[in-house]
Amino acid sequence: MVLGYDPDTITKSTFIHHIASGTLGGAVTRALISPFDVVKIRFQLQSEAGKARRYRGLFQATRVIFKEEGVTAFWKGHIPAQWLSMVYGGVQFCAFEFFTTIVHQILPHSRQETVKNMTTHGVCGALSAIVATIVAQPLDVLRTRFAAQTEPKMFTSATRAAFFMVRQEGYFSLYRGLIPSLVQIVPFSAMQFGSRSFFEAVWIRHGLKPGNFSEFICGGCAGLLAKTFVYPLDVVKKRLQIQGFAAPTVSQIRHYRSFFHCFSAIWRHEGFLAFFKGFKAAALKSSLTSGLVFATYRFFREQFEPEKTDSGG
């Protein structure tokens, strides 16, 4: 099974198979990496400096959260986060398969090999991420609100949180941080899907057999590489998503007027390293997430996909 359209093989798989595989893969991945996500968000949102910082290291933060809030705190916001992963995963992989198919139809027959290369997968990965982000953004905002709140909790369910936000802050509150989300996700997904294809080619070139394990390794390396470059944008996005949030949170909430104001305010008041708050947790989480997403997508697609036939007849 090759990720994206494979001109050398004809399958009877449908977009329903792609959506189902991406959705189930997203669900499994989210359940496993939720603790890393909560710790990462806590680091990103704290605006204190020096000794005033509540969380000072990955293991220290884990101990503090566990001691003060219990083990369930590592799955705070898990329901909206789970929906986010399922919706995002299903839409993204379905869109990716669609875009790579379109590329195959547009390119001349003699250039069919192009759909396998790094550039094409990078472009199609970016386009599919745009579609998935627009669809799933409200769930991402809800996930961040849940992960950020401390005790006593303001929101107890995603539905109540959504209605409250719409009533108090308007419909656009569900799309807070959309611009930095798109600015972040386009280069991230381009690098993630493109470099994954590159790492897979290197894997095969060394005589190793492709499969679920190779997807995990290649996808993990791709996720780490991509996250390193776009991480500052993720910090800005999280800060914008909790604007208007009056409940107790881990952050001293500042008022940011725009994406650029938020970026410059963090730079002035907290310094360059503030853009990499929580990076260790994020790097670990991104590697595991990316590896698991590709591996589980391949696994579930193989379960759904009918027997392949050679395109040469």
Are 58 and 128 in contact, with CB atoms under 8 Å apart?
no
Spell out the domain ranges in the chain: 9-304
Distance CA 173, CA 144 (A): 12
pLDDT attached to residue 110: 46
Model pLDDT, residue 93: 93
Could you tell me the two tokens for 138? 């409200």
The span from the CA of 89 to the CA of 186, in Å, is: 15
Separation CA 245–CA 238 (nearest Å) = 12
**pLDDT at site 95:** 94
Tokens of 307: 């027997």
Enter the pTM of the model: 0.72
Q: What is the pLDDT along the chain (313 residues), one digit of tens a residue?
A: 568 776 665 555 677 888 999 999 989 998 888 888 788 778 777 766 555 677 777 788 888 888 888 888 888 767 777 888 899 999 999 999 999 888 888 875 544 454 567 888 999 999 999 999 999 888 888 777 776 666 666 666 767 778 878 888 888 888 887 887 888 889 999 999 999 988 988 898 888 888 899 999 999 999 999 998 888 887 887 777 666 654 545 455 567 767 778 888 888 888 878 888 778 777 888 899 999 999 999 999 888 875 554 444 4
- Which residues are registered as beta bridge partners of 309? 10
For residue 96, what pLDDT is reported?
94
Residue type at position 48:
E
Residue 274 is given by DSSP the state G
Provide the pLDDT for residue 179. 84
d(CA 190, CA 188): 5
Looking at residue 312, its pLDDT comes to 46
Q: Determine the CATH number of domain 9-304.
A: 1.50.40.10
| Beta-carbon count within 10 A of 74 CB | 18
Residues in the chain: 313
pLDDT the model gives residue 277 = 78
E strand or H helix at 310: strand 309-310
pLDDT of residue 154: 67
Paired sense of beta strands 309-310 and 9-10, if any: antiparallel
Tell me what pLDDT residue 12 has. Answer: 59
- Computed from CA positions of residues 198, 277, 248, 255, in that sequence, does the dihedral angle turn out positive or negative? negative
Amino acid at 239: R
Q: State residue 113's pLDDT score.
A: 55
